[in-house]
Amino acid sequence: AQSVTQPDIHITVSEGASLELRCNYSYGATPYLFWYVQSPGQGLQLLLKYFSGDTLVQGIKGFEAEFKRSQSSFNLRKPSVHWSDAAEYFCAVGARSGNTGKLIFGQGTTLQVKP
Amino acid sequence: GAGVSQSPSNKVTEKGKDVELRCDPISGHTALYWYRQSLGQGLEFLIYFQGNSAPDKSGLPSDRFSAERTGGSVSTLTIQRTQQEDSAVYLCASSPLVGTGPRETQYFGPGTRLLVL
């Protein structure tokens, strides 16, 4: 069955420190890959997505993610975290075939930023 | 322009009652999705619309759940005979037409928080 695992439920980092949020997926083939962010009281917002080509993708707000096929991973990174990055982050996958736009989400990682 | 809107923002109902949740997608977006976000289950896909038809209903948890979309725009998610386990935030998203797979960005609404007493 298709699934997405975000091993870290909660992460705390200091402002200015680097960040890496982990995401592993289980899928029959390479899916489409996404990272979304949900800030308190806000809707889900797309940070970045991977379809094909360069395995390092750049997104909004200074985030990037690297697709590693051999590890079935799509980890999210940011070199220097800002206090406004505190939010919940979701990794998601979508099928390349079939008549659906369905996304399968991980359980989410809550990021806390210390001043 | 206007984003995805959902109403009501909050709904409290009694067990056994029916509820209707509404979603207004971004104008011109052909694809529409419903998801559910709950503490125990995370974010779950419910149903996908392409225009007024629903080629993927695989996430609807039971026959108490149904959804329709009219005029290629507004969608209503109906939950009949609500149960306490239906308590969750129901999220709607829309995107331009989906070809093969979810290549288009899904834009999410703020959600409807449903509490079943």
Mean pLDDT, residues B98-112 taken together? 82
pLDDT value at residue B101? 64
Q: Which residues of B touch A46 (CB under 8 A)?
A: 105-106
Give the distance from residue B66's alpha carbon to the nearest chain A alpha carbon, in angstroms: 17
Looking at the partner chain, which of A32, A45, A100 has a beta carbon nearest the beta carbon of B55? A100
Q: Which residues of A touch B4 (CB under 8 A)?
A: 43
Q: Which residues of A touch B104 (CB under 8 A)?
A: 101
pLDDT value at residue B100? 61
Give the distance from residue B81's alpha carbon to the nearest chain A alpha carbon, in angstroms: 26
Instruction: Note whether B92 and B9 are within 8 A (CB).
Output: no
pLDDT value at residue B1? 57
Mean pLDDT, residues A42-48 taken together? 91
Q: What percent of chain B has pLDDT over 70?
A: 95
Q: What CA–CA distances, in Å, run from B65 to A37, B3, B14, B34? A: 27, 25, 16, 11
**CA pair distance A47, B73, nearest whole angstrom:** 26
| Chain A contact present for B97, CB below 8 A | no
pLDDT tens-digit series, residues B42-77 = 899 999 999 999 989 999 999 999 999 999 899 999
Contacts for B51 with CB less than 8 Å, ≥ 6 apart: B30, B69, B72
| Chain A contact present for B25, CB below 8 A | no
Strands A32-38 and A44-50: antiparallel
User: Which of B4, B2, B1 minimizes the C-alpha distance to B90?
Assistant: B4
Instruction: Note whether B28 and B94 are within 8 A (CB).
Output: no
SS3 call for A85: helix
Q: Give the model's confidence band at A100: pLDDT under 50 very low, under 70 low, under 90 confident, else very high.
A: confident
Pairwise CB contact (< 8 Å): B101 & A103: no
Instruction: State yes or no: pLDDT of A36 exceeds 60.
Output: yes
pLDDT value at residue A1? 73
Instruction: Note whether A6 and A21 are within 8 A (CB).
Output: yes
Query: What number of other Cβ atoms are within 10 A of residue B97's Cβ?
Result: 13
Pairwise CB contact (< 8 Å): A102 & B105: no
Pairwise CB contact (< 8 Å): B101 & A106: no
Instruction: State yes or no: pLDDT of B103 exceeds 80.
Output: no
**CA pair distance A75, B81, nearest whole angstrom:** 41
Give the distance from residue B73's alpha carbon to the nearest chain A alpha carbon, in angstroms: 17
Q: Which residues of A touch B90 (CB under 8 A)?
A: none
In the numeric block, the tokens 């289950």 are attached to B41
Looking at the partner chain, which of B33, B42, B44 has a beta carbon nearest the beta carbon of A101? B33
pLDDT tens-digit series, residues A50-72 = 988 899 999 999 999 999 999 99
The residue of chain B with its CA nearest to that of A43 is B110
Instruction: Note whether B58 and B33 are within 8 A (CB).
Output: no
